Structure 1
Amino acid sequence: MRSAGVQAKRTTRKRRDAQRFTAIDLFAGCGGLTSGLRAAGFDVLAAIEKDPNAAETYRANHANVRLYERDIRRISPRRVLRELGLRKGEMLDLVAGCPPCQGFTRLTEGSGRRDRRNGLVRQFLRFVRVIQPTVCMLENVPGLLTTPKGKRYFNELRHGLEEADYCLSYKIVELADYGVPQFRKRLVLLAARSEAIPIPNPTHRDPAQPGKSGQRPWKTVRDAIGGLPKPPLRSEVLSGKASPLYKWHYARDVAEVVRRRLEHVLGNGRRRSSLPPSLRLACHERRPDGYYDVYGVMDWNTPSPTITSGCTNVSKGRFGHPAEPRPVTAIEAAMLQTFPRSYRFKGSGLESVAAQIGNALPCRFAQVVGKAILKRLSSGA
């Protein structure tokens, strides 16, 4: 979907280095968006991240990026420009960000609780208004566009960008269609000067359906993690009885009844709906249609379910390994999010690392969108 920006007079600005396209990442998390933008060819100059664990991971992988480890609401965009050494008349090419989205999900929409993080969408707009980049990019859950609560914030953002003379493209896309080995629907918005940048066309497709020329089959769980060795259990690592080949590649221990549930679903349809009464939870008996993915396992031959902050816990979703009665490890979840195996995750423990991974934008998708933006910037349009 596109909307035309309101034409307004603005000052002509220039890029300091004609061959160097620059960006800042406003809600950096552990670095998924930054990783994708850098892979696309951007020079990410600065990032903002409030969470200390995510910030530690970000620094470990992007040491040359200036990181502001503070609440974005307390950061002046003019100060950021000044500290980056951008003088009057010099421009930043891209402002990108993935504001926290928990308040716009289908699980929280009906709760009636006020989530202060919802207002962070306004902080994105505040930075864009001051910095006036050539392009800005925002990613969020579909609920920002489809729920009543989300629509209010989205319309405020859209009108603000149009008033600032941006032309918009936005669309809800399936990230599996862009080479991410995971089903993950997201809203993407691109705003550019003079002319809208179309949302990139899918690069991958459901292999069971006809596709356009050049589109490859979806990436699968096997493609992403099939080559990893069997991990030890967390209890074995903590007791010194075993060492993981890769850091964070160990599996969360599960109770015996959970192991039996996983063993059953591995051979009987991969979802908890196949469980016999003796292995079902009472709450699932009362609400058989609720949280149907929990205690399920992944399929080797399809993309994974959406990776969330509970991605190493089978009671939080269909996060069972496709061949072993255990949860996936943090490294397996990270690779399903298209982080490289060598990415260094830091944090206070497994739960912290899992949250960082689940909240990230998959690097591969960020790279695809980054390349589309870079193509426009390189053309000078």
Structure 2
Amino acid sequence: MKEYLSLSEAAELIGKSKETLRRWDKEGILNAVREPVSNYRVYKASDIKALMGSLFPENADDNVSNFVEAQAEYSVVELFAGAGGLALGLEKAGLKCVVLNEIDKWACQTLKENRPNWNVLEGDVKNFDFSFYKNKADLVTGGFPCQAFSYAGKKLGLKDARGTLFYEFARVVQEVNPPVCLGENVRGLLSHDKGKTLQGMISILDEIGYNVVPVKVLRAIDYRVPQKRERLILIGIRKDIDIKFEYPSPHNKTYTLKDALKKGDLFDSDVPRSDGAKYPKYKKEVLDLVPPKGYWRDLPLDIQKEYMGGSFYLGGGKTGMARRIGWDEPSLTLTCNPAQKQTERCHPDETRPFTVREYARIQTFPDSWMFAGPMAQQYKQIWNAVPVNLGEEIGYSLIKFLNEYYATKSQKVVNF
């Protein structure tokens, strides 16, 4: 590691936002210093190492548990199901997926092969009617994409969102009328179209009868996932229900790449061998020079300039480029193509991308969960998924909410 790191580099390494680091500087948690040559405000690597020791303790006791047992059989309608990361996580928590919709044929094949009992509807969501589940299903979920809306007035309504996949999500929620709905997305939804897209979604849910819980971005590393990944969670509660939804409590222990790929607390065996992408010869020669936890700035200066091209002269840390992950840290967020330039996540010991099964482990899929299609499609399915353990932790919060809701009812009997 270099002696000094920029704000961007420090934020990426620690897994916190730049705003958090600026606040820490004011509060004395991690102080920036003046770099001797440039006089820029930077962070001493030794200070970061000392802090990371407290952030990522190897033997930290994790006395946090979000586990809640379901007091009835709660059912889920899942949209945009992908390869089943969220659905599997909810199933592990104790929820039952009664129908799943997905348009991608390979993802549908993955779902069908792993869970033959699941009712998988393959095709465009707009072609399906879910009114059969009206007042029967307890939860509608969906990882809809982040699409801008066309505003037709001061307050965005459902009709204004037609043609977008959020419209379809809201339509299905309206058809099913569940006590609670869950949308998930990337952190970027917060700022998409200057925040108007998210506000539009909240406005639409309000129109169809749902109050939105304060939106929260959950960090996967806080929920038994060995990866610095974030997901925005949007929870809607039907307006006739006066019960507070509580997000899952963060765990004390942060899991690392070693926990993902080796036998330990997360998995009871080392990761199985599998096929994986390969680097072209030139890239491998460059990455051979990068140490564990290192990146492009650890290369000789002439190779830095050649490899980075014009990016070398631009601002920002670009700490994900030519990056070799260390065993004792969580993985950076996985990417769609593990071998593409500027988003390298190189294996700690071998100069290669992570294999398909290593990708799946980092997303906390069990080794028994198989992925259909060509290798590129398998990587895409895994990358696009909600980490299974994160889905499980959210599932416990949903079960807790539903337990409290149905405790106020005389009975809950729904058979599909």
**TM-score (normalizing by structure 2):** 0.70
Alignment partner, residue 64 of structure 2: none
What secondary structure, in the 3-state scheme, does the structure 2 residue paired with 1:250 have?
Answer: coil
Choose the corresponding residue for 2:124, options 65, 71, 93: 71
Structure 1 segments, 4+ long, off by >6 Å, are none
Q: How does 1:294-309 map to 2 (within 5 A)?
A: 294-309=321-336
Please give the alpha-carbon distance, in whole angstroms, between the structure 2 residues aligned to 1:278 and 1:137. 47
Query: How far 1:345 sits from its partner (Å)?
Result: 0.7
Q: Does residue 271 of structure 1 match 2:295?
A: yes
Letter in 2 for 1:309: C
Alignment partner, residue 246 of structure 2: 198
Query: How far 1:290 sits from its partner (Å)?
Result: 7.5
Any conservation in 2 of the 1:40–1:370 contact (CA below 8 Å)? Answer: yes
Please give the alpha-carbon distance, in whole angstroms, between the structure 2 residues aligned to 1:72 and 1:370. 23
Q: Which runs of 5+ in 2 are unaligned?
A: 1-69, 150-160, 265-270, 409-416
Please give the alpha-carbon distance, in whole angstroms, between the structure 1 residues aligned to 2:191 and 2:75. 32
Please give the alpha-carbon distance, in whole angstroms, between the structure 2 residues aligned to 1:52 and 1:335. 23
Percent sequence identity is 30
Any conservation in 1 of the 2:147–2:197 contact (CA below 8 Å)? Answer: no
Letter in 1 for 2:255: K
Letter in 1 for 2:126: R
Any conservation in 1 of the 2:182–2:236 contact (CA below 8 Å)? Answer: yes
Alignment partner, residue 53 of structure 2: none
Alignment partner, residue 110 of structure 1: none
Q: How does 1:53-68 map to 2 (within 5 A)?
A: 53-68=106-121
Query: How far 1:286 sits from its partner (Å)?
Result: 4.5
Q: How does 1:111-260 map to 2 (within 5 A)?
A: 119-148=164-193, 151-169=195-213, 170-193=215-238, 194=241, 195-203=243-251, 215=252, 217-227=253-263, 246=272, 249-260=274-285
Query: How far 1:51 sits from its partner (Å)?
Result: 0.5
The RMSD of aligned alpha carbons is: 2.7
Any conservation in 2 of the 1:221–1:304 contact (CA below 8 Å)? Answer: yes
Alignment partner, residue 112 of structure 1: none
Q: Does residue 332 of structure 1 match 2:358?
A: yes
Please give the alpha-carbon distance, in whole angstroms, between the structure 2 residues aligned to 1:289 and 1:199. 33
Please give the alpha-carbon distance, in whole angstroms, between the structure 2 residues aligned to 1:118 and 1:53. 24
Aligned length: 313
Alignment partner, residue 371 of structure 1: 396
Q: Does residue 358 of structure 1 match 2:403?
A: no
Please give the alpha-carbon distance, in whole angstroms, between the structure 2 residues aligned to 1:143 and 1:288. 21
Letter in 2 for 1:99: F
Please give the alpha-carbon distance, in whole angstroms, between the structure 2 residues aligned to 1:101 and 1:134. 24
Any conservation in 2 of the 1:103–1:118 contact (CA below 8 Å)? Answer: no
Please give the alpha-carbon distance, in whole angstroms, between the structure 1 residues aligned to 2:362 and 2:141. 22
What secondary structure, in the 3-state scheme, does the structure 2 residue paired with 1:189 have?
Answer: strand
Any conservation in 2 of the 1:296–1:314 contact (CA below 8 Å)? Answer: no
Q: Which runs of 5+ in 1 are unaligned?
A: 1-16, 105-115, 204-214, 229-244
What secondary structure, in the 3-state scheme, does the structure 1 residue paired with 2:290 have?
Answer: helix
What secondary structure, in the 3-state scheme, does the structure 2 residue paired with 1:266 have?
Answer: coil
Letter in 2 for 1:201: S
Query: How far 1:165 sits from its partner (Å)?
Result: 3.1
Question: CA 1:287/1:18 → structure 2, altered by over 3 Å: closer, same or farther?
Answer: closer
Query: How far 1:316 sits from its partner (Å)?
Result: 4.8
Any conservation in 1 of the 2:244–2:401 contact (CA below 8 Å)? Answer: no
Please give the alpha-carbon distance, in whole angstroms, between the structure 1 residues aligned to 2:278 and 2:272. 18
